[in-house]
A and B are shown apart, each in its own frame.
Chain A
Amino acid sequence: MGTFSKAMTAQNGFSVIGKPFPKPDAVSKVTGRAVYADDMLPARTLHCRILRSPHPHARILSVDTSAARRMPGVQAVITGVDLPIKFGILPVTQDERALEHEKVRYVGDPIAAVAAIDEEIAAAACDAISVEYEVLEPVMSIDEALAETKDERIQDYGGPNNIHKLVALEFGDVDAGFERADHVREDVFFFQGNTHLPMEQHSAIATFVDGRVTLWSSTQVVHYVHRALAKVLELPMNRIRVIGAAHGGGFGGKTDPFAHEIIVCKLAMLTGRPVKCTLTREEVFYAHRGRHPVLMWVRTGVTKDGHITAMHFKTALDGGAYGSYGVASTFYTGALQTVTYDIPAYRFEGCRVFTNKPPCGPKRGHGTPQPRFALELHLEKIADDIGIDSVDLKQRNFVKPMTRTVNWLRITSCGLDECTERVLTASGYRTRQKRRGRGMGFAISSYMSGAGTAIYWNDMPHSEVQIKVDRGGVTAYCGAMDIGQGSDSVLAAIVAEELGLQPRDIRLVTADTDTTPIDLGSYSSRVTFMAGNAALQAARKMRDMLVEAVAAKTGSPGDTVTVAAGRIGDLSFEEASILAEARFGTLTSAGSYTPPKIAGPYKGSGVGPSPAYSYSACVVDLDADPRTGIVKVNKVWIAHDVGRAINPLLVEGQVEGSVYMGLGEALMEEQAFRKGLHKWPSMLEYKSPTFMDMPEVETFIVETVDPEGPYGAKEAGQGPLLPVIPAVSSAVFDALGVWIDEVPVTPEKIVEALRRKEKGEAPRFGPVRFPSIPYPTCIKVEPPPRTLEVGSASAASI
């Protein structure tokens, strides 16, 4: 708390930035007045239920809806033939249909949908639909997906067998790097899949009025839903409007366009009535798009004093049945290793396979928590091997600010050293008492402040903000969607700061494709950085107009007119805005943000570059029972380099939430299947921590003031999750002397590792082999010049 409160009261020269303001929608959310999609019930609303496949892999021979159509109360029944056009989040993997009519690829794949006067009738009508299947052999694991196909491949692209994507990149001379090493080590790790578990289930409601479709949805990205709807419904985008309803949490799980969103629009078009669909909790587990299970192999060479000479990293991702963000996820499992540690030569080989399970996609940290887990533990083992303290070894390899990594990622601000020092000091890590059953673990990480390239190729800015000042009121318009992370607060704070107002003075119109300019949405930790910069630009333009009008009126030079505390010079904001409106006409301004073109000159370089990276360091203190293997986390110290905390209250919220989610992934969460069925599709049986499991968290906000972030701000929503998971496993090693090289770290695995240790076997639990994968020959990439000119704007463009 110490550091936090200091940051909150920092005399930083701002009147709003850096102060702990409550969220604009805090009261409505806490009192239950916020209107979520499922709360909406316009007159004559029909309710939609979706019939889903009970088989993990089958051909659809026939679908008979006649009985369902005859049921009283049923208004429309649709099947795959009504929505045959394929869609998908990435242009290269347009492999989904809103309703399948040829083949189902996981239990839960949608087949038919009913709109009826109530949900019970809709559900009964789904039961009355009969589907004939030809059941195919399901493919349920990475090994099975790599093997010769038994019946037929899950998807008709990719290959060989059920491989979806293969990647092979090499930066610098890796073989020479290994030759130069004094010590080389190899390890294999596994990270089990897990899901987002947002409090709010996905929900969407559509109307069709005067030839126009309007959809309210619990989505993270109105723009991508808009695009998918236009494609599948074959309507021009201007006849579709997508609005983000109040949001009950996404964590990446609402970043794809979803079948139910398309289905309710189609049903609304057919019936002329509003149609709503809220997924059940069970359906949410099957809709998924969560963390990929990833098997990892890593080999690293180091010198005697612990400097990395080369690294070779291989990953195999279990992708589930569809592409989703999978191509990006695959690249991400290899991209960010280099932004924390200086790796002079680096080879990455990645592979994603299709399996007959719900599709995996982006979850908080997208594709990077898995390799971060492996990398942090791997370096600890190397330190052990060569007899160097593991923190020292890591610190010796930390990247430096204003450098470029071997895979062409540009690092500007970097607070790794300060974050590390903060948590080590506060936790007493270096002077901890060694005692069996109690341990501490340390880990670091980094994450992007928004991807430097868009998901689909286009030259548009990644975010745009418009400001309108009218009768003294300020309205900011932006496509960004507040999913609870606080993007509305950030927009309001920035506009308020620039116009000398308070955040509550700013009206916000967000996430509405009819009324707001584009923003690529709430994923990739991009909103504060990108929408924030756009807002800053728009607000400064507006401020200039107000100042100019006041200066002209009072005859004083513009640079003497102060903007603060609700006043422009000697005039109130309202008076100034009337003057400005008289002078310029309608008062509007716009700002936009396009990330610098910093991707490297190679195929696949689009994944990884970001205008700025956040950094985190974490220490976990826990008790691990040497008899039962039960772990109790006592405390977590975490420091996060957020560049600048626009609102420290929200930054701390994001950090604590990340710790919470990280602990769940580290210790208990598993998206696991038996015969194609989710093992525990309920909140009682899918274990994530309760508040009875949550330890105290001490958060340190580190401010490095990034040269390109708004007021120097970087991301906070995802990065702080990453170090928690390896720190837990490393603390278990500290406590018991066994390595759990597999997430989640469960009591059973600990007991088994202890048993092996007692028997004189390797004291670990985890995968022992990495499969043979037909990776292509590596694309060899010449590394860039490794230093950036300090303070040069041209750092942005090479």
Chain B
Amino acid sequence: MEFLQPSTWTEALQMKSAHPEAMPIAGGTDVMVEINLDRHRPASILDLTRVTELNQWGADGEFLRIGAGVTYTRIIGELGDRLPGLAMASRTVGSPQIRNRGTVGGNLGSASPAGDAHPPLLATDAVVELASVGGTRRLPVREFFTGPKRNAMKQDELIAAFLVSPAKGPQQFSKVGTRNAMVIAVCSFALTLDPVRKHIGTGIGSAAPTPVIADEAERFLEGVLDEGGLWEKPASVDASALARFGELVAAAAKPIDDVRGTAAYRRHALAVMARRSFGWAWDEYRTKASE
């Protein structure tokens, strides 16, 4: 096995271009599992941990641009106030050890339908920045996932960063799992309230071949809030509207029966999580508004 260890981003891209088959490794919390279980024997490995550019984050216009190599622990500690939804999701990843090593870039690289970073990235309309020696392109995260554990990255590309706007309103993330730590989601749900754009964002994990958004549910709830003028005068939202929102979220999923849970339970739990997430987020919005 060949081991490539670039120390700069330019070098990394050159190596990837010269060795398109090379498997990038960041935290290694997915890569090493694959190798140890002998599911995958890459001919060469491209170690990205020395590329300092990947470990940085900062402002990029109205966005935050976060390097692919920033770990969950750092997202929780350094960005928790600006990206509360992603931070909530990060707290549910694995264990402290996994969060110290694992990165959002790696989560995107694996593109597992169960990746916990994905629903909050979808719910906030995040953008993935891909780069190769040929240049850089930015892709909305909802176009990034192309199939189960497949993404839009080309052979010679690497993930440089993701871009996301700081929260303008309440965000939520919930996850159903068999236990309270070290658990891959049975299903998960992220919700964003954006009072500036009057927009509801959603993200569903582990309940379709890829992470997905609940388009129709978003538009339905936006309609309810607009019609009632609720963004301006936040009153409580009708229970039947909440129920409908839950149904629409569940309907957006395409779950299957697998070792972690049944399709029926996933749909059911998604509806519950959607209703509750909105309830919590809306309460927070109303409290803030009345202060």
Q: Which residues of A are in contact with B by a Cβ distance under 8 Å?
A: 282, 627-628, 630, 668, 674, 679-680, 682-685, 687-693, 746-748, 751
Contacts and interface: CB of A to CB of B under 8 A. Distances in A.
Which 3 pairs between the two chains have the least Cβ-Cβ distance? A692-B180, A687-B178, A692-B181
Given A679-B259, A748-B261, A684 B184 contact: yes
Contacts of A747: 176, 265, 269
B269 A628 contact: yes
Contacts of B233: none
B183 interface: yes
14 contacts: A627-B272, A628-B269, A628-B272, A628-B273, A630-B176, A679-B259, A690-B179, A690-B180, A691-B181, A692-B179, A693-B179, A747-B265, A748-B261, A751-B268
B59 interface: no
A687 B179 contact: yes
Nearest to A123: B38
Given A748-B262, A751-B265, A693 B272 contact: no
A685 B261 CA distance: 12
A680 B180 CA distance: 18
A683 B176 CA distance: 18
Contacts of A628: 176, 269, 272-273
A365 to B, nearest CB: 22
Given A674-B259, A747-B265, A668 B178 contact: yes
A682 B37 CA distance: 10
Nearest to B259: A679
A199 to B, nearest CB: 14
Contacts of B184: 684-685
Interface string B160-176: 00000000000000001
Contacts of A692: 179-181
Contacts of A679: 259
B90 to A, nearest CB: 16
A668 B179 contact: yes
Nearest to B94: A684
Nearest to A755: B268
B182 interface: yes
Contacts of B176: 628, 630, 747
A689 B179 contact: yes
A683 B37 CA distance: 13
A683 B179 CA distance: 12
Nearest to B183: A687
A473 to B, nearest CB: 44
A687 B179 CA distance: 7
A693 B180 contact: yes
Contacts of A683: 182
A684 B182 contact: yes
B151 to A, nearest CB: 22
A690 B180 CA distance: 7
A746 B269 CA distance: 13
Contacts of B273: 628
Nearest to A687: B178
Contacts of B261: 748
A613 B265 CA distance: 43
A687 B177 CA distance: 10
A668 B37 CA distance: 24
Interface in B33-84: 37
Contacts of B268: 751
Nearest to A683: B182
A477 to B, nearest CB: 42
B249 to A, nearest CB: 14
A282 B36 CA distance: 11
A687 B176 CA distance: 13
Nearest to B268: A751
Contacts of B276: 627
A201 to B, nearest CB: 14
A682 B179 CA distance: 15
Given A627-B272, A679-B259, A690 B182 contact: yes
A105 B123 CA distance: 49
Interface in B235-273: 259, 261-262, 265, 268-269, 272-273
Contact of B259 (A627, A685, A689, A751): A685
A51 to B, nearest CB: 14
> Which of A628, A683, A691 is most buried by chain B, counting CB atoms within 10 A of its CB?
A628
A284 to B, nearest CB: 14
B176 to A, nearest CB: 7
Nearest to B178: A687
Contacts of A746: 178
Given A684-B182, A690-B182, 8 more contacts: A628-B273, A682-B37, A684-B184, A687-B183, A690-B180, A692-B180, A693-B179, A747-B176
Contacts of A689: 179
B75 to A, nearest CB: 20
A333 to B, nearest CB: 27
A693 B37 CA distance: 27
Nearest to A626: B272
Contacts of A682: 37
A682 B276 CA distance: 32
A488 B262 CA distance: 47
A699 to B, nearest CB: 23
Interface string B171-215: 000001011111110000000000000000000000000000000
Contacts of B181: 690-693
Nearest to A678: B259
Contacts of B259: 674, 679-680, 685
Nearest to A688: B179
Contacts of A690: 95, 179-182
A693 B178 CA distance: 10
Nearest to A632: B180
Nearest to A668: B178
Contacts of B37: 282, 682
Contacts of A630: 176
A752 B210 CA distance: 27
Interface string B262-291: 100100110011001000000000000000
A77 B217 CA distance: 62
A340 B86 CA distance: 52
A476 B265 CA distance: 58
Contacts of B262: 748
Contacts of B180: 690, 692-693
A277 to B, nearest CB: 18
A746 B184 CA distance: 16
A649 B174 CA distance: 39
A518 B5 CA distance: 58
A732 to B, nearest CB: 16
A668 B260 CA distance: 11
A578 to B, nearest CB: 55
Contacts of B265: 747-748, 751
Contacts of B272: 627-628
Contacts of B95: 690
A37 B140 CA distance: 53
Nearest to A627: B272
> Which of B37, B176, B178 is most buried by chain A, counting CB atoms within 10 A of its CB?
B178
A683 B182 CA distance: 9
Contacts of A691: 181
A632 to B, nearest CB: 9
> Which of A627, A680, A689, A746 is most buried by chain B, counting CB atoms within 10 A of its CB?
A627
B47 to A, nearest CB: 21
A22 B268 CA distance: 50
A630 B183 CA distance: 14
Contacts of B269: 628, 747
A746 B259 CA distance: 13
B32 to A, nearest CB: 12
